[in-house]
Amino acid sequence: MSEKQDSTVAAEKRLHVDLGGQVAIVTGASQGLGRAIAETLAANGATVAVVARSAEKLAAVAAGIRAAGGRAEEFPCDVSKPEQVLSTVEAVVAKLGRLDVLVNNAGVTRDTLLPRMGDEEWDEVLLTNLRGPFLFTRAASRPMMQQRYGRIINVASVSGMIGNAGQANYSASKAGLIGFTKTVSKELAGRKITVNAVAPGFIASDMTAALGPALLDEVKKRVPVKRLGEAWEIAEAVLFLASPSSGYVNGQVIVVDGGLIA
């Protein structure tokens, strides 16, 4: 079976859950994994608040979700700014009535070897990838605690589990996010709020395409299933963790990497 056929067969058996009446925030929703996650949650009945810095890109994502029959509202926000994060969460609850799911997906990379890494390259990655989830989780936990229900899903990375040369900043941010996930899962569980993480491996994207055919072939050889992952495969792992059915899954890291680090 070819890689394309493999993905097509999987698409015919997509996961379906009922998120009707629920409201979800997805950060970094203007493109890539965030967009796929937002579209998947909306396709399963959630009203999705899409969050990113680019208002123009968010408007296009929200319009696409609505055109497909879903419900979405855009909320431009810099996830590293405390006042913007708090006002965004408050605006979502005020406009949409509640908050059930938070997906901390926003992330950046500034790759270079450690001796060449500047302070700004370190700080920018940690501010977005780690401070952002802290700010959104802190703000979102308040309405979730009041309603005694919530699902928080952090998008980590296998780089945060095994490291990756040239990504000291990124790997540190994702390792920190995993530790954050495990700690907060213990703090919020008593209010029926679960906190979990998804750790993608190599996923087909503009970033991986930039590696070039030769390097991509080498990457695929390292992955036991012999292909890159698809964005929807990450989105469906998030969908399960966002569902009411995942209530006994808490403080876990679900690795979606084709067996790369097994």
Query: Would residue 207 count as lying in a domain?
Result: yes
pLDDT tens, position by position, 126-156: 999 999 999 999 999 999 999 999 999 999 9
Q: DSSP for 198-221?
A: EEE-SB-SHHHHTT-HHHHHHHHH
Catalytic residue among 170, 180, 202, 232: 170
pTM: 0.94
The two structure tokens encoding residue 78: 């810099």
The pLDDT of residue 21? 97
Query: Would residue 14 count as lying in a domain?
Result: no
Query: Quick check: is 170 catalytic?
Result: yes
Q: Number of structural domains, the chain?
A: 1
Query: Would residue 117 count as lying in a domain?
Result: yes
Which structural domain, as residue segments, surrounds residue 55? 19-255
Query: Would residue 129 count as lying in a domain?
Result: yes
User: Taking 50 as the threshold, does the pLDDT of residue 213 lie above it?
Assistant: yes
How many whole angstroms separate alpha carbon 191 and alpha carbon 213? Answer: 48
Query: Would residue 179 count as lying in a domain?
Result: yes
Query: Would residue 1 count as lying in a domain?
Result: no
Comparing C-alpha atoms, which of 46, 247, 237, 32 is closest to residue 154? 237
The mean pLDDT value for 100-116 works out to 97
Query: Would residue 156 count as lying in a domain?
Result: yes
The mean pLDDT value for 193-221 works out to 90
Query: Would residue 215 count as lying in a domain?
Result: yes
Average pLDDT of the chain? Answer: 95
How many whole angstroms separate alpha carbon 197 and alpha carbon 199? Answer: 6
Report the percent of the chain where pLDDT is more than 70. 95
Residue 77's domain is classified under what CATH number?
3.40.50.720
pLDDT band for position 206 (50/70/90)?
Answer: confident
